[in-house]
Amino acid sequence: MRRLLFANFTPQMRKYIITFSMAFAIITAASHTISAQSQDFRLGQWSEIHNSIIKELNRSYVDSLPIDRIMRAGVDAMLEELDPYTIYIPEEENEDLQMMLSKTYGGIGAIIHKKKDENVIINEPYAGSPAEKYGLQCGDEIIAIDGVPTKGLETKESSDRMKGKPGTTVVFKIKKVRTGDTLDVPVVRERIHFPDIEYAGMLDDTTGYILQTGFTENVSGEVRTKFQELKKLGMKRLVLDLRGNGGGLMSEAIGIVSLFVPKGSLVVTSKGNTEESVQEYRTQTEPIDTQMPVIVLIDSGSASSSEIVSGALQDMDRATIMGKRSYGKGLVQSIRPIPYNGQIKVTTAKYYTPSGRCVQAIDYSNRNEDGSVGHIPDSLTREFKTANGRIVRDGGGITPDIEIDSPDYSRLVYALVLGGVLDQYVIDYARRHDSIPEVDDFHFSDEDFEDFIRFAKTQDFDYRSSAKTLYDQMKKELQKDGLAESMKSELDALEKALEMDKERFIRLKKDEIIPFIEEELATRYWFQEVGIKVRLRYDEQLKTALTKPLI
């Protein structure tokens, strides 16, 4: 069409258009060059100013200059202006980076509990870990680590002393939970790996279930192996649970998608700040099954690689996505070395699902006047289409094909869990009980719950209801405004109606609390996998998903 229009122009008009186009191209190229030079100049100017300030402070500041502290604070503050994922990692934190990337560390494989001025308590040993192999149990007290008393140590310092190079030995002075005996226990540290596949099993005769909590190296191979094992057990449909999975390696997300779609399928595209940075990532291996129905569970904690998997399978109409909308992290990070053995984890690109969606929910490049950032409103999202023509949208995570409400826990349950009351009760329970029944026969009885109430009443924690906390805040605001006195009778009546003692509130929330206690006790006596089996017993969101028709 453009060629036909151009053919109808006179020679003089064509000459004018060509001249104007050439001039426009030159001006555009020049503006890009000037912009690049301007940015380079500003960067040079900033470096010079920064160096001058440091030199002047070092020469003139009244006290000794805390170089390490202000250097780190300056770098962190600078990177915070970009996004939460671009961070500086100095040499001494490289082990923390490896833990983040591979979920591995050198140590004994146990979660500890530590109160100020008390000994370290073994809270939760891991199955197959050195802690289990050398007989450490929930409730055992660590009196000393390599001869250093633990009462005077902080939690992190205690943990750091327990960690170390695999193959090295750490000696604990232990007071045993059952007998009260005190003995020295040498433990050889190992490379501890937190598994990405926390549980895999059959939910019924035909439904397989895989709980995946991360995307570290070779998790796609582990999913492949578990899938094949479940298929031999009669699996006819799969539930891949990515709820709460914050992501990890993009390559592993691609590897998981490749299990279910034809070789060569486009999974994700990454785009940086130049045309040359655009990269397409396709499946490289043959699938293991392209027909079996797949349900992918997601929620607001499913991010990054979890969104690559769910978004790709949704765009290809290969799985039914259920649950709640995912987090919305569509940014790609790369690790770059910097001087003195440090590293920077820098956001280098955004990723896009096969239909062209970017799931990033927050636009860090466009900030409000106060520096804050906000979510992209639904009104500004765009429509895209899946392989079968279904409409999906960008700009705010992956929206499930079928929305299923997540459990809504009371404030009391959060207080019991996050405040450590349940942990402390479970440790106390372990001191008094040598064993519990096998998982299928284990249920927390009414008598057991009375025991928990007696324990919880002795603990100091904020047991107010959500309504009571809102009332307390409202009363403070009314006092600020000078209105509380004039509304005293109404406020007193409302406060009396909302007031609830600790025991009454715990009894009221019994059905919410018992599943948490059962899971924690099962984990302490039978390890993590059995604890998850107990959790699934009460998973109403999963039960609802199994009743829904698939796309």
Residues catalogued as catalytic: 304, 315, 329
- DSSP per-residue codes, 26-66: HHHHHHHHHHHHHHHHHHHHHHHHHHHHHHHHHHH-SS---
Planar angle of CA 77, 335, 93, nearest 5 degrees: 65
Angstrom distance (rounded) from CA 400 to CA 392:
9
What is the amino acid identity at position 185?
A: V
Angstrom distance (rounded) from CA 243 to CA 300:
8
Cα atoms found within 13 Å of the Cα of residue 243, Cβ hemisphere only: 20
Q: Which DSSP state fits 379?
A: G
Q: CB count, 10 Å around CB of 405? A: 10
By the 8 A CB rule, do 350 and 271 touch?
A: yes
By the 8 A CB rule, do 307 and 331 touch?
A: no
Angstrom distance (rounded) from CA 321 to CA 356:
18
Q: CB count, 10 Å around CB of 24? A: 10
By the 8 A CB rule, do 251 and 334 touch?
A: no
Angstrom distance (rounded) from CA 219 to CA 459:
41
Angstrom distance (rounded) from CA 170 to CA 294:
46
Q: Where are the alpha helices (DSSP H) in 355-487?
A: 411-418, 421-432, 446-456, 466-480
Q: CB count, 10 Å around CB of 521? A: 24
Angstrom distance (rounded) from CA 523 to CA 516:
11
Task: Please name every residue paired with 362 in a beta bridge, in sequence order, or none if there are none.
Answer: 375
Q: Which DSSP state fits 241?
A: E
Of the candidates 93, 178, 110, 80, the one whose C-alpha atom is nearest the C-alpha of residue 429 is 178
Q: CB count, 10 Å around CB of 122? A: 24
Angstrom distance (rounded) from CA 185 to CA 159:
17
Residues contacting 286, CB < 8 A, separation 6+: 263
Residue ranges with strand state E in 67-195: 87-89, 104-107, 110-114, 120-125, 141-145, 148-149, 169-175, 182-188, 190-193
Buried b (16+ CB within 10 A) or exposed e, 430-461: beeeeebeebeeeebeeebbebbeeebeeeee
Of the candidates 518, 543, 546, the one whose C-alpha atom is nearest the C-alpha of residue 530 is 518
3-state DSSP assignment of residue 489: helix
Q: CB count, 10 Å around CB of 401? A: 21
